[in-house]
Structure 1
């Protein structure tokens, strides 16, 4: 028997995403945005079923998940005002009883939140980064840091789509006045008293528990590189000229010039990203795993690390600054990524079968 490619018989995987009751009734592999993932799993001999989640039918979802051998989760931290506050306990319960879950909520809380920027600031991808654990600490420490260190980027701990991410800079010759720009698409710069802006941020302590403060990266207009990873291996790259935290032109945030460029996908062997791939696979992912005590089998089946260009080094080569890790809902993905996902799932199933457990 080819143990390396062995898949236990009658193996079923759930692909979980958010939706309503109508979506749940009509869900199939072929009307799903994850159709390429379904196909790649099938090619590896793994049956995958779509499971639609909403809080209103969470009990039905729980019973369904307890019948499968693994769960792949694609649910954003925040979606149309809904959070994962109820989903995460459900997934913990399911993972404790039978199947493995990827990404497990406890793994997300380690590496898929903005606090990862503070906890890993000592790695080669780190920058000038601080954490405020309370509103009192934020009010006491942030004003002086803003005055002395230049423009900052504040980030709520859990969020997506630019929600709760702000560029903040002091207004020259205007005491305690700041210019702020929300990363949410369609935002315009605002000028206001610093105290007023800080009060606006205080609710972030309730949902995410902290606020992360990074130095603004001046090379932001050169674009962002998204490094897609399956387990511990790079599965591809995405390159995009982003507009978040860049003031829109005079025509406003809806002008064509204010829209982000297309995300250009590349496979893992793209020549221009091999330095970043080497750093990720041989240095930064092992260091991340050691920092958070995450074993390789617990790394998400698909996740991504988003990088901005940092200052060039003494030889003129690019450096990279981590701006976030996405582990809750990493999509869209490069063409090569579904096959990488399927290989990682097959390995997780093989490991679970060898251990004699369902997780």
Structure 2
């Protein structure tokens, strides 16, 4: 009797109707379904919502592996129910990517502090309590110039702020301008003490704030380096407008980002970045965070800004975020790489 192919559940968020109607063809992951099937696997949709979490758990316990695309924050919903569910599935012997414990190591802003010694790092501070933040951030900010503050978990620019001095302290109050990276945000004038109080909610449930210098080359764009395991599978280049202050006289309308232009892993302009990611930075990150090769996410990305040119005039790169929870859109070559990596992980686990 011929063995049936391994079943792979692809998880994304949706309501009851979306779960009922989902097929391998009628969703944005259809190329991934196709490539998984092409390497002899049997992918199936597994639309998730807290309302029917038990039903999803029953489905995931019946498959061989699980690939997850669910943001940490989505219209007020979190992964508070999903992550324990995925841990239960993994403990039952199913391969889960990305595993919630790996997300807590790689896919949070704290990784910027933990890996600040790697070649992608800059002067990065970490505040674990509101009192620590209030005491330590002010002198750093006043001495070092514009900073970028990042809440530990989030997506879509939520909780990421550019903070810059707007005027000399007057009457005991320091005037600042703040701009959130969330789409549609515009600069806001406030007092430093009021803004610090606003950020206190970021410390709930073990949260923290990471503090980095603002990168002046931000208007030149961001490079998203897409990874499958330890291999680069493509790049996305975009003229981002998040945290770019609108020019004076342009009103208070938010700036709109340019399109993300995808490039293959072999693209010559990113040869140096690819080499560093594969041969230096990813291995150093794995060693620092205690992440084994078999636990690296099937798909993840590292977002880079241009740092100051080095002594020879070559570009340097500053890591501003690692995305693990829900990496999409992806380069055209990535679905085949995802399928290849998935088949390889299943073969390894079967040995």
User: Would the TM-score normalized by the shorter structure come out above 0.5?
Assistant: yes
CA shift, 1:254, in A, is 4.8
- Whether the 8 Å CA contact 2:7–2:64 is kept in 1: the answer is yes
5+ residue gaps, structure 1: 1-7, 355-359
Q: Which residue of 2 aligns with 1:210?
A: 208
Once residues 270 and 252 of structure 1 are traced to their aligned partners in structure 2, the CA distance between those partners, rounded to angstroms, is 38
1:54-203 matched pairs, under 5 angstroms: 54-175=49-170, 176-203=174-201
User: Which residue of the partner structure matches residue 4 of structure 1?
Assistant: none
Alignment partners' CA distance in 2, 1:300 and 1:245: 28
3-state secondary structure, aligned to 1:50: strand
Gaps of 5+ in 2: none
Q: CA deviation at 1:168?
A: 0.2
SS of equivalent to 1:202: helix
Aligned-partner Cα distance in 1 for 2:343–2:168:
61
DSSP-derived class of the 2:25 partner: helix
Kept after mapping to 1: 8 A contact 2:5/2:40 = no
Aligned residue number for residue 335 of structure 2: 338
What is the CA deviation profile of residues 163-199 of structure 1, one whole-angstrom value per residue up to 9, with x for unaligned ones? 0000001123234121101111111111111110011
C-alpha contact (below 8 Å) 2:6/2:63 kept by paired residues: yes
CA distance in 1, matches of 2:40, 2:253: 46
CA RMSD of aligned residues (A): 1.1
Q: 1:42, 1:230 → 2: CA distance?
A: 18
What secondary structure is seen at the aligned counterpart in 2 of 1:92? helix
Contact 1:115 1:157 in 2 (8 A): yes
Distance (Å, rounded) in 1 between the aligned partners of 2:328 and 2:346: 23
Which residue in the other structure is 1:325 paired with?
322
Question: What count of residue pairs does the alignment treat as equivalent?
Answer: 345
CA distance in 2, matches of 1:200, 1:209: 14
**1:59/1:118 Cα in 2 relative to 1: closer, same or farther (>3 Å)?**
same
Which protein has greater RCO, CA pairs closer than 8 Å, 6+ apart? 1
Task: Choose from 12, 26, 35 the match for 1:31.
Answer: 26
SS at match of 1:246: coil
